[in-house]
């Protein structure tokens, strides 16, 4: 992931990445440019997570899409992942950087907090994530930032911002207009009745226009 002059798509996996999910990921990444894919699973061991992640990482590598691991520095290190995304209750940024090195992208969840974002930026995060901007069923959230936090961030910091939470093709335009560098999307892509490729194409069309 690199800083962008225009908004880009950042996909987040559903919790169930078994079965035919690799096929869905292949379809999604083949539909248009995607900046990153976040592997997000819960309550499974390191070996099982690695077994699920490895074929997905291979698909991302083939499409030149950054492979980001959610919340798990050990798994990111084992997979030689491009990055790790940390919440406020996960491993500390400083410790993760020491473990993974300078080449790995580290993103930090900042909810609706300008203070947390500044701390993350000054601490060496590669991107900060704000959300949830809209109601979401992907994860429980009690934070609902205003769109202007993206505008504020883009005017004072070079580090990219990620907008997250209930984002769809129908509601994303204000986030793009406010300066979000990436839109993190899960349900709107994987649950699209016409398939993930259709959803990705819709987002790309919005970005290009």
Residue-wise pLDDT tens digits, 195-208: 999 999 999 999 99
Residue-wise pLDDT tens digits, 82-141: 999 999 987 799 999 999 999 999 999 999 999 999 999 999 999 999 999 998 876 666
> Concatenated DSSP letters for 100-117?
H-TTSEEEEEEET-HHHH
- How would CATH label the architecture of 8-208? Alpha-Beta Barrel (3.20)
Mean pLDDT of 42-57: 97
Q: Is the pLDDT of residue 142 over 80?
A: no
> Concatenated DSSP letters for 38-61?
EE---S--HHHHHHHHHHHHHHHH
**Quick count: other Cβ atoms within 10 Å of Cβ 170?**
10
pLDDT for position 89: 84
Q: How far is CA 167 from CA 13, 71, 89, 98, in A?
A: 14, 21, 24, 33
Q: Residue 6: which pLDDT band, with cuts at 50, 70 and 90?
A: confident
Q: Is the pLDDT of residue 163 over 80?
A: yes
Give the mean pLDDT of the chain.
94
* Distant-in-sequence, close-in-space partners of 143: CB < 8 Å, separation ≥ 6: 111, 112, 113, 131, 132
Given a contact cutoff of 8 angstroms between Cβ atoms, the answer to whether 159 and 141 are in contact is no
Q: Residue 3: which pLDDT band, with cuts at 50, 70 and 90?
A: very low
pLDDT for position 138: 64
């Amino acid at each position: 992931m690199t800083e962008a002059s225009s908004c880009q798509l950042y996909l987040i996996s559903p919790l169930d990445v078994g079965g035919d999910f690799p096929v869905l990921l292949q379809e999604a990444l083949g539909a248009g440019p995607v900046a990153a894919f976040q592997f997000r699973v819960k309550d499974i061991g390191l070996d099982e997570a690695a077994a699920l992640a490895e074929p997905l990482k291979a698909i991302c590598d083939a499409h030149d899409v950054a492979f980001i691991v959610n919340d798990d520095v050990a798994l990111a290190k084992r997979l030689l992942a491009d990055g790790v995304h940390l919440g406020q209750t996960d491993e500390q940024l400083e410790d993760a950087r020491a473990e993974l090195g300078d080449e790995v992208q580290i993103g930090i969840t900042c909810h609706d907090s300008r203070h947390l974002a500044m701390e993350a930026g000054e601490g060496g995060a590669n991107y900060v994530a704000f959300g949830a901007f809209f109601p979401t069923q992907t994860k429980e959230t009690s934070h609902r930032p205003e769109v202007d936090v993206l505008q504020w961030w883009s005017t004072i910091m070079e580090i990219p911002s990620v907008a997250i939470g209930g984002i769809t093709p129908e509601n994303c335009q204000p986030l793009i207009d406010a300066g979000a560098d990436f839109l993190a999307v899960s349900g709107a892509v994987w649950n699209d009745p016409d398939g993930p490729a259709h959803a990705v194409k819709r987002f790309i069309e919005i970005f290009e226009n």
